[in-house]
Structure 1
Amino acid sequence: MDNLTYHQQKYIENTKKLRSILETLPSFTKDYFRAIEPTTSTKTRISYAYDLRVFFFFLRESNSYFRNKETSQIKLSDLDLLQPTDIEEYLEFLKVYEGLDGKIQKNDERGIHRKFSSLRSFYLYYSKRRMIQNNPTVVLDMPKLHQREIIRLDYDEVAELLDLVEFGGENLTGMKKIYFEKNKVRNLAIFTLLLGTGIRVSECVGLDINDIDFKNNRIKVIRKGGKEDYVYFGEEVENALQNYLEVSRSLIHPVTGHENALFLSIQKKRMTVKAIENLVSEHAKQITSFKHITPHKLRSTYGTNLYRETGDIYLVAEVLGHNDVNTTRKHYAALDEDRKRLAAKAVKLRE
């Protein structure tokens, strides 16, 4: 797998992971996952598989008919036995339950919404093909989702965060100071790139050196679903990337198989999503204790700033790689209220 790209390697890893999860589900479920393969990513199918595993666990825990069955013994015809009340009990079960490992699992309204959506899609596949007669999921309404406020950094917090990444805190000593000096150029490039382009953390991790085009000031990214796209960057991002490549990256001899990776860990391997999430969290909590800042919140910060500067929701959707502009509009609706308030002050009746 040495000559494969990051995204090709992740596809292989996720495919293997999906197959292992499917081995824990009833055999008939494989038909469903084959059917949705052309329209979903492996990551999405893994999420669906985990959701269905919870559903079958619920049936064995809560329904007397299924209690003495192994998951592998459940048949497609068994789905016909379930009524809307069974699905309502499942949704209630999802709020708090004890998993197979004995740990307490919880789902908020978004977790419940997603798991019900997965189950609906699952049932719909078999009912459309008339392989089952009963679909209790269509009787129930989708759980309501309350709009969440966008968590983002303000202008002064962005500047403070970048200063911290570049110059370090006041109390750096010992190994922390050594680690800071060793990685500050790389870290500044990562933070500047995330805040200056709004790319996803997975897109950042997947970048290779040859994905950067300084002639046109753009990077090539692989979006959700495997779509290739170009994202343009400004002077600050250009300077941070150039500095990293010249001062830091050029001195590292990567581990075999990671030669092309743009951002490398101290182990000289491609950085992981988790590593960058930890990096962002570690720095951001020194800036604000009231906001839980993740790489996705840096993406929201960029999207907010772009919308404030341009007022063009279609541009924001395109740059962020949203397939549906309504997704973007939903997230930035609060900013429209700010613009409406400005309109109220724009017209003077008496000078």
Structure 2
Amino acid sequence: MGNTDNYPETKTYHEQKYIDNTLRLRAVLKTLPPFARDYFRAVEPTTSARTRISYAYDIRVFFHFLIENNPLYKDYTMDRFTLSDLEKLEPVDIEEYQEYLKVYENEDNKQITNTEKGLARKMSALRSFYGYFYKRQAIAKNPTLLVDMPKLHEKAIIRLDADEVAKLLDYVDHGGDDLTGQRKAYFEKTKNRDLAILTLLLGTGIRVSECVGLDIQDVDFKNNGIKVTRKGGNEMVVYFGEEVENALKSYLYTTRKNTIPLPGHENALFLSTQRRRMGVQAVENMVRKYAREVTPNKKITPHKLRSTYGTALYKETGDIYLVADVLGHKDVNTTKKHYAAIDENRRRQAAGAVKLREV
């Protein structure tokens, strides 16, 4: 498997993503005030391309807000804004922007609503933007520091229970048994691939972006490991067990072996029915499709499968540092925050674990 000698050299998924994101960011920067480029150059070493693109869109919303809602700027075009305009704004202007973000219309007249998380990210982008110029003394004041950031409420983590995991995999395995005709043909055509993806996500906890970025050469059955590219571009080998091994082999030696990929997609591990590398959205749709049949009351996404794995691993090992390492969390506090509820149960058990006197 994985011999590509006959193919022209193709870029890896992550190399191509980097190129696409760089070009996309350049395009967005052209729609921002000229001085904004200094900020994006400065944050490049410490942020991912995706984060910079998100921040660029968020900051563009801010300048559109000023043009639409602030009488001072109603005749402005984007290229007229200068750093002195940032200095003119007061904390009340920032508070009005925060209120505006809850519901507004974008450039295509489409209504956008922001939940707590979206609001917090957009305000964080603006605070970072202001902070850069303030720190370098390009502006004398920073009104974002005088405005309270949106409060984020913790949400309960949705994950699959052990019996639901088994039901999900059983459904993919046998869901086509009662189908007929074209529906059965399609189900059978994608079954091995879908089972391999779900088993891999549930058995390793890798991110969906890491999953779709896998090449055939990244799978090592000798050591039962896969080479994944983590957030930030670091490569890491994630090991898998027998169930994942069997699901991957079953897919590789049947569906994948019998599919001729389109040019440029020869190395991709997971192919769509169009014979291209599967994208993040395709995997998200696939997970939702099966999960609806098994757990209709839970909104299951690939990230929830990651949480399911992390929970199971923590329950088995009780080692939060191991869970953080395997999941690729840079900061163990991120992991602790997600699995605090399990810690609570362990603490409750500890209360009755030590007996002071035999009754």
TM over 0.5: yes
C-alpha displacement of 1:144: 1.6
Say if 2:195 is the partner of 1:188: yes
Q: Tell me the alpha carbon deviations over residues 272-302 of structure 1, each in whole angstroms, 9 at most, x when there is no partner.
A: 1110000000000111121110000000000
Correspondence for 1:298: 305
Q: Tell me the alpha carbon deviations over residues 32-77 of structure 1, each in whole angstroms, 9 at most, x when there is no partner.
A: 1111111111111001001101111111111111111112221121
Say if 2:85 is the partner of 1:81: no
Say if 2:35 is the partner of 1:21: no
Range with greater deviation from structure 2 (169-178 or 15-24): 169-178
C-alpha displacement of 1:172: 2.5
Query: Which runs of 5 or more structure 1 residues have no equivalent in the other structure?
Result: none
- State whether residues 216 and 268 of structure 2, in contact with CA within 8 Å, keep that contact through their aligned partners in structure 1: yes
Say if 2:140 is the partner of 1:136: no
What SS is found at the alignment partner of 1:346?
coil
Correspondence for 2:98: 91
What SS is found at the alignment partner of 2:294?
coil
Correspondence for 1:327: 334
Say if 2:248 is the partner of 1:253: no
TM-score, normalised to structure 1, is 0.97
- State whether residues 280 and 294 of structure 1, in contact with CA within 8 Å, keep that contact through their aligned partners in structure 2: yes
Q: Tell me the alpha carbon deviations over residues 95-123 of structure 1, each in whole angstroms, 9 at most, x when there is no partner.
A: 11122222211111111111111111101
C-alpha displacement of 1:169: 5.3
Give the letter aligned to residue 277 of structure 2. Answer: R
Correspondence for 2:65: 58
C-alpha displacement of 1:343: 2.2
Q: How many residues align?
A: 351
Query: Which runs of 5 or more structure 2 residues have no equivalent in the other structure?
Result: 1-7
What SS is found at the alignment partner of 2:257?
helix
Correspondence for 1:154: 161
Say if 2:277 is the partner of 1:270: yes
Aligned Cα RMSD in Å? 1.4
Could you tell me how far apart the structure 1 residues matched to 2:328 and 2:98 are? 32
- State whether residues 221 and 245 of structure 2, in contact with CA within 8 Å, keep that contact through their aligned partners in structure 1: yes
Could you tell me how far apart the structure 2 residues matched to 1:172 and 1:64 are? 63
Question: Within 5 Å, which residues of 2 pair with 1:271-286?
Answer: 271-286=278-293
- State whether residues 176 and 187 of structure 2, in contact with CA within 8 Å, keep that contact through their aligned partners in structure 1: no
Q: What fraction of aligned residue pairs are identical, expressed as a percent?
A: 64
C-alpha displacement of 1:256: 0.8
What SS is found at the alignment partner of 2:269?
coil
Correspondence for 1:108: 115
Give the letter aligned to residue 105 of structure 2. Answer: E
What SS is found at the alignment partner of 1:267?
coil
What SS is found at the alignment partner of 2:297?
coil
Q: Tell me the alpha carbon deviations over residues 174-210 of structure 1, each in whole angstroms, 9 at most, x when there is no partner.
A: 3221111111111110000000000000000000001
Could you tell me how far apart the structure 2 residues matched to 1:34 and 1:21 are? 14
Could you tell me how far apart the structure 2 residues matched to 1:37 and 1:203 are? 21
TM-score, normalised to structure 2, is 0.95
Give the letter aligned to residue 231 of structure 1. Answer: V
Give the letter aligned to residue 106 of structure 2. Answer: G
- State whether residues 216 and 267 of structure 2, in contact with CA within 8 Å, keep that contact through their aligned partners in structure 1: yes
Could you tell me how far apart the structure 2 residues matched to 1:267 and 1:205 are? 15
Give the letter aligned to residue 258 of structure 1. Answer: H
Say if 2:343 is the partner of 1:336: yes
> CA 1:212–1:144 in structure 2 vs 1: closer, same or farther (change >3 Å)?
same
Correspondence for 1:217: 224
Correspondence for 1:317: 324
- State whether residues 2 and 256 of structure 1, in contact with CA within 8 Å, keep that contact through their aligned partners in structure 2: no
Could you tell me how far apart the structure 2 residues matched to 1:114 and 1:90 are? 13
C-alpha displacement of 1:170: 6.3
Range with greater deviation from structure 2 (190-199 or 101-110): 101-110
Could you tell me how far apart the structure 2 residues matched to 1:335 and 1:66 are? 52
Q: Tell me the alpha carbon deviations over residues 77-108 of structure 1, each in whole angstroms, 9 at most, x when there is no partner.
A: 10000111111111111111122222211111
Could you tell me how far apart the structure 1 residues matched to 2:183 and 2:341 are? 40
C-alpha displacement of 1:341: 2.4
Give the letter aligned to residue 11 of structure 1. Answer: Y
What SS is found at the alignment partner of 2:237?
strand
What SS is found at the alignment partner of 1:304?
helix
What SS is found at the alignment partner of 2:236?
strand
Could you tell me how far apart the structure 2 residues matched to 1:2 and 1:32 are? 35
C-alpha displacement of 1:230: 1.0
C-alpha displacement of 1:24: 1.0
